[in-house]
Structures are given as C-alpha cells and as structure tokens.
Structure 1
Amino acid sequence: MFALPFFRRDLPVLKGEKVMLRVPVTNDYREWAALRGESRAFLERWEPRWAPDELDRTAWRHRIGRYREDYAQGTAIAFFIFDRTTGKLAGGITLGNIRHGVAQSGHVGYWIGQRYAGRGMMTDAVKLLIRFAFDTLKLHRIEAACIPDNIRSIRVLEKAGFQREGLARSYLRINGAWQDHYLYARIADDPPASATKG
C-alpha cells in the first residue's frame, strides 16, 4: 500500500461553471438515496445490476468505507456532483484504477440523476476531473468506456475532448448482461476541449 502526498492533504473541492465536486461524506446518504431511487429506471440500463440493498443505509456505510480506503491508498477518488446554483446533489463521478509508474493513468466513470440530465452538468464535471487528474495528480492518460447506444455519454466524452480508440467486445457486465463498450481516452498533451468538439 502507498499514499501519495496529495492524498494526505485536505479533501479537494473542484468548482466549475455549472457544478461543484466534492468527496462524499456520511451525511450525504439521504440526498444520495433519494436521487438514485427516483432515477433508478433512468440509470439501471447503464450500470452493473443493483443489489437488493442498493439504497440501504448499511450498504451506504460500506460504500463510504470503500471510497475512503481507495482514496487513502491512492487508487481512486470519488466525487459527488452538486448543482452550483442550488447546492443540490446531481450525480457522481469517480477517477478509478489510478496507476502510476510507467502507466500514469486513470479511468473515469460517472452517473447523473434523471432530472439533471441534458443540462451540460456532466460535461462540466468531466472537464473539472480531467484538469484535476492532469494538473494535481500528474497523470498522463485518462480512459473511459461507454456502451455504444449511450448517445448522451458519448456526447459528454467527446465534448470533454476524449477520442474514441476502439471497441472492446463483451467488456463489462451491465444490468446483468455482458456489453460491448467503446473505449475513449484523453492524453495530458491533447488540445484543450474547447479546441476539439464544442
């Protein structure tokens, strides 16, 4: 186990035009459970199958424990996404599978509550996370995977400057079935997202 110097500092808060990102805390449970619960039908087709106790407080405590452990080990950092206008929880975004040494890379995954979809908030969140990964964590490559018919997610990644690198067959088990995924990546010295796609 190792901990990067960054992981011993105060927990980061990232602020964009539309959203604010901060590490989840225990007291976020009610808002998280309510948003996930009301968005279940919207989210399930893009996520691993939900456990029967998915939204229970005990499962939440285990989730927070995993977030803290991954953070302390320097292998992942989870953020919640908050609407900067209202301060309400809108979704989540994680930089996981962080590798150093010759790889210097990480993998981004995200979700958004149904009522917040289509407002540009996730694009803002992904751009914030990219900047944090490259500038603070000094990573070289950020990867993402997306089911081919998830048009909204494809749009988010491309607006954030990711480039499609290929198709991975039967890549992840989503909602109980193995799914092909497009593989995307963004490199630290790629042009800024504003210089790529809108």
Structure 2
Amino acid sequence: MGFFTHGSADAFGPVLKGQRLYLRPPTSSDYPAWSQLRAESRAFLEPWEPKWPADDLSRMAFRRRLRRYQRDIREQDGYAFFVFDSSNHALLGGLTLSNIRRGVTQSCSLGYWMGECYAGRGHMTEAVRIVVQFVFGNLRLHRLEAACLPTNQASIRLLEKVGFQREGYARSYLCINGAWQDHLLYALVSSDLRGGETVVGSELAVQL
C-alpha cells in the first residue's frame, strides 16, 4: 500500500505514502497552508471538533501544537500526520494516533479532519487505510479505536468502509463544540483484517 521513512529533512517522525497521497508529521513550514485551510473550513469542521480557542489559528498556537506532537513521538505516546496530495503536495487534512497504550492493552485512538474543499473524494478513506497498516504492522498494536457523533454520517461511512466495528454508545462522551455529546464507539482489531485489503502483521516497506 505504501511505505514510510524516518529522518526526512522536513519531518520529525515517519512519513507514510499511498497511491494518491502521503502522510507526514507537521512542520513549521506548514503553518500558512494549515491556517488557511482550517480558516476556510471552520464552519464545516466546528460541529465535529472541540471548541476552538480564540487564538487557535495563530502561529504561536501552531508552534505549541508542533511541540506537543514532537513530544508525543519521542515518548511514543502518539503520532500526528498531515495528509497531502501526492500530485501537487496540497494539504488536504490531518490525522492523529493518540493514547498509545502498551502492556496488556496494545491499543491507540484515531482522530481525523479534512478540509471542506477536499471532502467526499475518498482521500481520508485512503489515509485511514494507510494508518491502519502502520498501526498493526509497524507499531505492532492489537486494537485501534475511534469515536464519532451519531449525526456524523460521513465519518460513520468511512469507519465502516475501512472495517471498523461498532461496539457501543457512550453518553456525554466528549466535549464537542462546547457541549458534552454522545458518541458511537468503533474499534478495529488486528484479526478483523486477515484476508482483507490490509496485510496484518506485515510492515510497510522501510526506506532509510
């Protein structure tokens, strides 16, 4: 499906590549494209995200994000990726793996966002499939979890298309857009994908 590499000149962490797009950790040079895409997509994104701070799109707030992302990678607590079009390197959206838990759990949580002008084209479906292989193949985790609002039909379709199973309904689960809201709980475990599109247990090819 793709490959990842460590030690890119522009990225702190792995770079994942698919057929139409690639994922890499955010860098300071991404700020102009990120702030523009988020600003243009604000009304589209706000109903599904935590309430935006007043300075959310400022350069200083972006620098704080980068420090947090880099700390998470160093401590192996999580990975943040920006999603880019391979043909023109346009920023399309973002994806995060958070709360990586080892020991008897071997799991993490998935989150994602897409710029409004790029939504509905299958980009995030491809991005999630690439990350699924990274989670089960390279990180060697057992379980990938995701949650979405019951009214977010686009996210429900994406998760179920990739193979996530609906496991429950959590009341007042996350504070979204300033209010505690119920969520549908989804998960994918390594055994779910045996025989499917993603080869579980095999790593993406590594280039150094």
Task: Judge same fold: TM > 0.5, yes or no.
Answer: yes
Determine the C-alpha separation between the residues in 2 that align with 1:131 and 1:158.
16
| Partner Cα separation in structure 2 for residue 59 and residue 23 of structure 1 | 16
3-state DSSP class of the match of 1:60? Answer: helix
Indicate if the aligned counterparts of 1:14 and 1:20 stay in contact, CA closer than 8 A: yes
1:17 alignment partner, one of 16, 19, 27: 19
Cα deviation code 1:99-120 (max 9, x no counterpart): 0010000000000000010000
1:193, distance to aligned residue in structure 2 (A)? 5.1
Stretches of structure 1 lacking an aligned partner (at least 5 in a row): 1-8
Higher alpha-carbon deviation: 117-126 or 81-90: 81-90
Deviations 1:161-197 (A, max 9, x none): 10100100100000001110000000011135559xx
> Aligned residue for 1:38?
40
Q: Is the counterpart of residue 134 in structure 1 residue 141 in structure 2?
A: no
Cα pair 1:106 1:141 within 8 Å, conserved:
yes
TM alignment of 1:1-198, pairs within 5 A: 10=7, 11-191=13-193, 194=197
**1:75–1:98: 8 Å Cα contact kept in structure 2?**
yes
Cα RMSD (Å) of the superposition? Answer: 1.2
1:49 counterpart SS class: coil
Question: What's the CA shift for 1:85?
Answer: 2.2
Describe the superposition over 1:114-141 as per-residue Cα deviations: whole angstroms up to 9, x where unpaired. Answer: 0010000000000011100110000000
Alignment-derived partner of residue 205 in structure 2: none
Q: CA deviation at 1:16?
A: 1.3
Rounded Cα–Cα distance in structure 2 between residues aligned with 1:103 and 1:84:
35
In structure 1, distance between residues paired with 2:190 and 2:64:
33
User: Share of identical aligned residues, percent?
Assistant: 56
CA contact (8 A) 1:160 1:193 kept: no
1:74 CA drift (Å): 0.5
CA distance in 2, matches of 1:86, 1:27: 16
Please give the alpha-carbon distance, in whole angstroms, between the structure 2 residues aligned to 1:13 and 1:163.
27
For 1:69 and 1:57, the matched residues in 2 are separated by: 18
Q: C-alpha deviations, 1:59-105, integer Å up to 9, x for none? A: 11101000011111100100000012221000000000000010000
Number of equivalenced pairs: 187
Offset of 1:18 from its aligned partner? 2.3
Contact 1:97 / 1:107 at 8 angstroms: preserved in 2?
yes
User: Contact between 1:159 and 1:193, CA under 8 Å: does it hold in 2?
Assistant: no
- Structure 2 unaligned blocks of 5 or more: 1-5, 8-12, 199-208
Give the residue type in structure 2 aligned to 1:147: L
CA distance in 2, matches of 1:58, 1:12: 24
